[in-house]
C-alpha cells in the first residue's frame, strides 16, 4: 500500500469519527490501567460490567489493595482469567505505592515492570492516558492491518513496528482507536462488512464479500 492511500484511509477514519475513544469505562489514569489489565482475553463490555461495580468502591492503589485478594476476585469473577488478574492487580498496586507514589508511571520500562502489564497494555496507557504515539496491536488490529494492506506482518510486533513507521504523524494519536473500532464493528473476522465500509474503495482485500 502506498503512502497516499494510507493518508486517505486515515482521513476517512477522522472524517467519520473525529474524536475516537476507548470503549473501556475509566475516570483516571489508574482506572484505565486496571481496566486494560483486566481486558486481556476479555471483552470491553465484560470489563465495564465489573469495573462499574468495583471502581465506586475502590479506584486507587490503596483502596484496591485494602480489598484483599478474595474481595477483589468477587468483583471481577465474571472476567476470564480473574484469578491471575486479581493477583497481578494487587501486586501492581503494591509497586505503584512503594515505587511510584501511587501514580501510574509515564515510561514504558516502568509500566512493563508491573505484574500483568505487557507491551500491548503499556502501549494503550502511553497512548490513551499520556498522548504518546504508540500503537497497541490486538487481534483486531493485527487482522485488519494485514487484510486491508496498511501494514502486513507475521506477528504482532512486526505489525506494530510497521504501523508506527507508516501511519502519518498527524493520525498517530487516534490511529489505535480507529483501527480497533474498525476491526470490531466493520472489518470483522469471519465476514467483513465491506458494503458498509467507509474505506472499501481504498482497501486491498481482494476477496470482498458484501452483506
- Residues with catalytic annotation? 120, 138
- Comparing C-alpha atoms, which of 49, 36, 13, 45 is closest to residue 186? 13
Angle at 110 between CA 48 and CA 66, to 5 degrees: 50
Three-class secondary structure assignment of 142-160 = HHHHHHHCCCCCCCHHHHH
Distance between CA atoms of 199 and 106, rounded to whole angstroms? Answer: 34
Residue 189: all three cell numbers together: 473476522
Distance between CA atoms of 192 and 211, rounded to whole angstroms? Answer: 8
User: Do residues 166 and 208 touch, judged by C-beta distance below 8 A?
Assistant: no
- Comparing C-alpha atoms, which of 157, 205, 206 is closest to residue 182? 205
Cell 498517530 belongs to which residue? 172
Residue 207: all three cell numbers together: 476477496
User: Do residues 89 and 40 touch, judged by C-beta distance below 8 A?
Assistant: no
Amino acid at each position: 500500500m502506498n503512502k497516499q492511500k494510507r493518508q486517505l484511509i486515515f482521513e476517512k477514519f477522522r472524517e467519520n469519527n473525529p474524536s475516537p475513544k476507548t470503549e473501556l469505562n475509566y475516570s483516571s489514569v489508574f482506572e484505565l490501567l486496571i481496566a486494560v489489565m483486566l481486558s486481556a482475553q476479555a471483552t470491553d463490555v465484560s470489563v465495564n460490567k465489573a469495573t462499574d461495580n468495583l471502581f465506586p468502591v475502590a479506584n486507587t492503589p490503596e483502596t484496591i489493595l485494602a480489598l484483599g485478594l478474595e474481595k477483589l476476585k468477587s468483583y471481577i469473577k465474571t472476567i476470564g482469567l480473574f484469578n491471575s488478574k486479581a493477583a497481578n492487580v494487587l501486586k501492581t498496586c503494591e509497586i505503584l505505592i512503594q515505587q511510584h507514589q501511587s501514580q501510574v508511571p509515564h515510561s514504558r520500562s516502568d509500566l512493563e515492570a508491573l505484574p500483568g502489564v505487557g507491551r500491548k497494555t503499556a502501549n494503550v496507557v502511553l497512548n490513551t492516558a499520556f498522548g504518546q504515539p504508540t500503537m497497541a496491536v490486538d487481534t483486531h488490529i493485527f487482522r485488519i492491518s494485514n487484510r486491508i494492506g496498511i501494514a502486513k506482518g507475521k506477528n504482532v510486533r512486526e505489525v506494530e513496528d510497521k504501523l508506527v513507521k507508516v501511519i502519518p504523524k498527524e493520525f498517530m494519536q487516534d490511529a489505535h482507536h480507529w483501527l480497533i473500532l474498525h476491526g470490531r464493528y466493520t472489518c470483522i473476522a469471519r465476514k467483513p462488512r465491506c458494503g458498509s465500509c467507509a474505506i472499501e474503495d481504498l482497501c486491498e482485500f481482494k476477496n470482498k464479500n458484501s452483506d
